[in-house]
Amino acid sequence: MTTIPVPAEVGAILEVEGDPGVVRTFVDDLLASAVNVDDLDTFARDSATLEGWSGAAADAYGRHVRGAAADADAVSAAVRRVARAADEYAQTLTTLQAQRSTLEDRRASYHGARADLLADIRATTDADAAAVRELEDRAVALGTQRQTLVEDVDRLGRAVTEAEQLVLDALQSFSTLDKARAAVTGGLDLADVALARPGSPASGGSPEEVAAWWAGLSEDEQLAVLAAHPEVVGSADGIPAAVRDRANRLLLETDLDALELREERGEILPADDRAALENGRAARAALAAGAQEVDPLTGEQMVPLLHLYDARAFGGDGRVAIAFGDPDTADHVSVMVPGLTSNGTKAEGNAEAAFHIYESARYSDPGSTVASIMWIGYDAPSDTDSLTVLQEGRAIEGGERLARYVEGLRASREGGPAHLTVVGHSYGSTTTAHAASDHGLAADDIVLVGSPGAGGEVDHASDLGVGADHVWSGNNSHDVVAMLADNGWVGGGTFNGVGMGNDVAEDDFGANRFQAESTTRGTGWDPTADHTKYFDQDTESIFNIGQIVVGDYDEVLRAEHTYDPWWWDPIDPERDREPRAIEREGPDR
């Protein structure tokens, strides 16, 4: 009787304990602490000398404060290094847990093959030599499989121990202030050294130069700059979107922590701090609301990116941009530029509009990837300065900012260029037109909705630099803001700086006009209501914007242009057409 040795079972595989998400939260908390300590360093250095104070006491004070600044610098650098080690640990932990899952599958497969072999051996009572050799060969192969599996399990255990030890070493290396001081060599801060290099945002680099500068930094340098100067990284055009999001969320967290603590203590905040607090809360609410949205086709939860954040910009109006999808990798990218009343406190409503563009574009081309951004990156007329909407000044300044922002989206791309569309609404359409006519906006398509005009110097869609076939207008026939635009060949354009220029929906302007009527047009008590419906779900406007964003021009529902006969007022054929709802279907609808 032949005995066939069958390899033993493989014991349980060790658990890879830990939650990478919790570790990343720990990293973010460390980076936020580093930001605060770095601010203390800056404050202390700026306070080392006081005007009008000199002598021995002043010298002693200066030495003490400069020493405190140096210690703050050392602590900030130490915290950043611990954060770097923890960040690597989170990445390693994710990899190791995936490896363990694969090993579990292999262990189950091995045990299944072993059970099959044992069953076949038991069932073979009168086997010939060939059958016995086949069973022996299977046993040998199974032994090899077991040996490889056990070796890989042992390797996993060593990797887990090594990863844990590395993060423990980092924590122990900076466990005291003396150790932190010793770690800062030569008095040079890694972040400051990196920012001093050519092409950095601090040196005034172009978006392309900033992108190359960032790519040329080591991971340690990148994390140092992110933690020491999140305000620079978060607003730098050309930096990858995920990095900007991380930097801006650090700024948002530190802003709200500081301002809400003062508020809880009963402190009456000055006007600029109160405005910053309201802008920060609005950004937080917009991100929270955006995270509740789901992709209309896959049903996956959205992860909005905070692509721009400065709560104190423009005298307290603030700057904010939020993206749905990844603009660095998406096939189609859109930037929505809002207009009148848009400031930091309007983040949530404008982010919702950007998501509706994302949603419409996804429906329009399910096979492609999409990113949709709402951008309040210029000083739009709002609140006490709303009357500036009557002039082009804010649009001219904003156009330059917008052109650079879009250039940054191009520069930070991974792989080939995206099909990029800029959608300007209201005064934002005038801003978009100035970005195009004055600065060569790097867009493939320009969409102007609810537009009071494309600027006093723009006579025709071809003046916007993308070709008239790629300029689109979507003025609702009941939109009183769009009616402010200039009509006719004997129009005034702008008069003494007042006015926004030609009607972009008129035949003489030469843009592609699409249907943008609302089924609720002309209803209600508010005469301006139709001006705010362009991004509502199931409307003609949002359907057509989605088609344009993905470049599916043949499916755009075209509209007849407004025209201005010499004997009568401007005539809009859309006013007599019956609007329709265009419903889309998906797991979230």
**pLDDT on residue 493:** 45
**pLDDT on residue 488:** 64
d(C-alpha 243, C-alpha 237), whole Å: 11
* Average pLDDT of the residues in 414-434: 95
Residue-wise pLDDT tens digits, 272-305:
999 999 999 999 999 999 999 999 999 999 999 9
Average pLDDT, the chain: 90
Identity of the residue numbered 438: D
Pairing type for strands 419-425 and 445-449 reads: parallel
Residue-wise pLDDT tens digits, 369-403:
999 999 999 998 776 554 445 568 789 999 999 99
Task: Give residue for tokens 């779900």.
Answer: 537
* Nearby residues of 88 by Cβ (< 8 Å), 6 or more positions away: 166, 167
Residue-wise pLDDT tens digits, 513-532:
999 999 999 888 888 899 99
**pLDDT on residue 456:** 74
* Nearby residues of 281 by Cβ (< 8 Å), 6 or more positions away: 256
Count of other CB atoms within 10 angstroms of residue 294:
16
* Average pLDDT of the residues in 415-430: 95
Cβ contact 336:423 at 8 Å: yes
Residue 187 has pLDDT above 80, yes or no: no
Helix (H) or strand (E) holding 70: helix 56-123
d(C-alpha 237, C-alpha 404), whole Å: 7
d(C-alpha 428, C-alpha 252), whole Å: 25
d(C-alpha 361, C-alpha 388), whole Å: 33
Structure tokens at 470: 């790629």
Packing angle, helices 56-123 and 219-228, rounded to 10? 130
d(C-alpha 564, C-alpha 221), whole Å: 61
Q: In what order do the strands lie in the sheet with 370-376?
A: 305-310, 319-324, 370-376, 332-337, 419-425, 445-449, 471-473, 512-513
Residue-wise pLDDT tens digits, 527-583:
889 999 999 999 999 999 999 999 999 999 999 999 988 778 889 999 999 999 998
Rg of the chain on CA atoms, in Å: 31
Q: Positive or negative CA dihedral for 295, 298, 302, 308?
A: negative
In percent, how much of the chain has pLDDT > 70? 94
Cβ contact 269:277 at 8 Å: yes
Query: How many alpha carbons lie under 13 Å from residue 498 in its C-beta half-sphere?
Result: 5
Identity of the residue numbered 89: Y
d(C-alpha 312, C-alpha 281), whole Å: 13
Query: Lowest-pLDDT range, 32-41, 77-86, 348-357?
Result: 32-41
**pLDDT on residue 495:** 40
pTM of this prediction? 0.85
Residue-wise pLDDT tens digits, 110-148:
999 999 999 988 887 776 788 888 888 999 999 999 999
